[in-house]
Chains A and B, each alone.
Chain A
């Protein structure tokens, strides 16, 4: 019901931006972090990028955010090649990065013209923190801080929201709440969302498309056909999650040499369980 309403809205007035990456590469000195990555995201689409740590997924996000410059390749928003920071793009960082010396409401209003407190208060109410406006960030829990950080991003009505493992440090229950919150606000505002995460379940719960990056290259691009809101208890959900997870694990981790089996064939009685 709400979904259909939002769809109508986005059809009338596209809020989200079309993002297209071509031949994107990044190296730090001799170390190549991203090779020739190409990706096209439709306006209003929710895309999740998964991969092992160090695979280059965060670098990709930082390039799109304009926080770092690509070594090669181009980034296009709505067909226009862009460079550096963009006004319509906002980032939600892994650590909330709230200014500890500004009260919650002032943190949300950061970078807005003076007198925008009403707008900031409105978005704070949307993330369920209307009553914490006057608090110092140090008084908030981790989940509340990330909600403030989400509000701070959304108050700018971004056309592209980049989420850099924003829920990595939260406990399981808070994460599920945050998933619902992010999904609801995304459906309401219609921005394009790019989420970097190491949690495949989070990716399947939120994204229209899940992309796997391996060794700096895009290794998998899978559409999630589940209807929203998604139920984790849905057998299809579990199936998709397992398939993607298996695909992620297929690539041996960098610590173990590729030619050796990860699990040595030891008879069961020879094992010592460290539990």
Chain B
């Protein structure tokens, strides 16, 4: 074993390599078996895209041949054109910015509160007794059922939308943070105490990282809800935002713009999910389930 590795390192140190040796090295760098496996892997990557691409092609053909009325479904090319026109005029960016700002500030307020209260009730028994049953009761009220009341309180202003989003992302984060903290291995906490960690160190080194996977699950739930509530809130009434864009287009029978709006929501939702996954990859990189084979 040792002798083999020693000869290998000796070969690497040799300053000049013969042509044959160089070729040998090149071959070693390639995956075993030459190019065929690479192509196979590539094909495997492409296979899942066959059906969606075929559907889009079919849709395009159906629309161009006039089987589909543009009022029902415009051709994909029309949707792309509409998106492009909106991008050029700057309208698209304005609306996306307004919608994203609403969603993210709602998340920051509601999610931040959920996280803070979850940490509080999870860590301090007194606050659990004081607050948890109340919050569990309030949790059963669907956020959307509050719409009439919210309109009475805040009118149809920005405030109403922020409130709806904040209240609906609050609960997933609250509940998952609370349970995450409760499920931290008591053995680890005992170990931390016996190794002389201060209260704050114990929190930072043991409790918070232990609850992190659960908190991130809460965040992913919250992100999903955030977009749904945003769509509903923007559809009720708005002067700007993706919802405004689509509702406005509906008035003028611009189905292509409506489709652009729907696709934008999908894209933003996907982006948020990708972001949450990246956070998981980073914060849970110690977890065997999140480690890439390296």
Contacts and interface: CB of A to CB of B under 8 A. Distances in A.
Interface of A: 65-67, 85, 87, 90-91, 93, 95, 97, 99-103, 110-111, 136-138, 152, 156
Nearest to A153: B195
Contact of A102 (B193, B196, B197, B286): B286
23 contacts: A67-B190, A85-B193, A85-B194, A85-B196, A90-B195, A97-B188, A99-B188, A99-B205, A101-B209, A101-B210, A101-B284, A101-B287, A102-B209, A102-B286, A103-B286, A110-B192, A111-B201, A136-B286, A136-B291, A138-B288, A138-B291, A152-B195, A156-B195
Given A97-B187, A138-B286, A138-B288, A110 B205 contact: yes
Given A99-B205, A99-B206, A111-B201, A91 B286 contact: no
B271 interface: no
A95 B185 CA distance: 12
A9 B179 CA distance: 51
A136 B290 CA distance: 12
B196 A65 contact: no
Contacts of B263: none
A110 B195 contact: yes
B131 interface: no
Contacts of B190: 67, 97
B286 A111 contact: no
Interface string B72-88: 00000000000000000
B287 to A, nearest CB: 7
Interface residues of B, number: 22
Nearest to A93: B191
Contact of B194 (A66, A95, A101, A138): A66
Interface of B: 187-188, 190-197, 201, 205-206, 209-210, 212, 284-288, 291
A67 B194 contact: yes
Q: Which of B187, B191, B284, B286 has the most CB of A within 10 A?
A: B191
Nearest to B288: A138
A67 B285 CA distance: 31
Main secondary structure of the interface of A (DSSP, over half): loop
Contact of B187 (A66, A90, A95, A110): A95
B209 A90 contact: no
A102 B194 contact: no
Contacts of A95: 187
A87 B196 contact: yes
Given A97-B187, A138-B286, A91 B194 contact: yes
A80 to B, nearest CB: 18
Contact of A65 (B187, B194, B206): B194
Nearest to B202: A111
A99 B194 contact: no
Contacts of A156: 195-196
A217 B187 CA distance: 27
Contacts of B209: 99, 101-102
Nearest to B210: A101
A111 B187 contact: no
A136 to B, nearest CB: 5
3 closest pairs, A vs B, by CB? A97-B191, A111-B195, A101-B209
A111 to B, nearest CB: 4
A201 B210 CA distance: 37
B293 to A, nearest CB: 12
A57 to B, nearest CB: 18
Contacts of A87: 196
A93 B201 contact: no
Given A102-B205, A102-B209, A138-B287, 8 more contacts: A67-B190, A97-B188, A97-B190, A101-B209, A101-B286, A102-B286, A111-B192, A111-B201
Contacts of B196: 85, 87, 111, 156
A65 B190 CA distance: 11
B204 to A, nearest CB: 11
A66 B194 CA distance: 8
Q: Which of A87, A100, A102, A103 has the most CB of B within 10 A?
A: A100
A100 B194 contact: no
Contacts of A111: 192, 195-197, 201
Contacts of B284: 101
A91 to B, nearest CB: 5
A156 B196 CA distance: 10
B48 to A, nearest CB: 31
Contacts of A110: 192, 195, 197, 205
A164 to B, nearest CB: 11
A93 B186 CA distance: 13
Nearest to B196: A111
A130 B198 CA distance: 28
Contacts of A90: 194-195
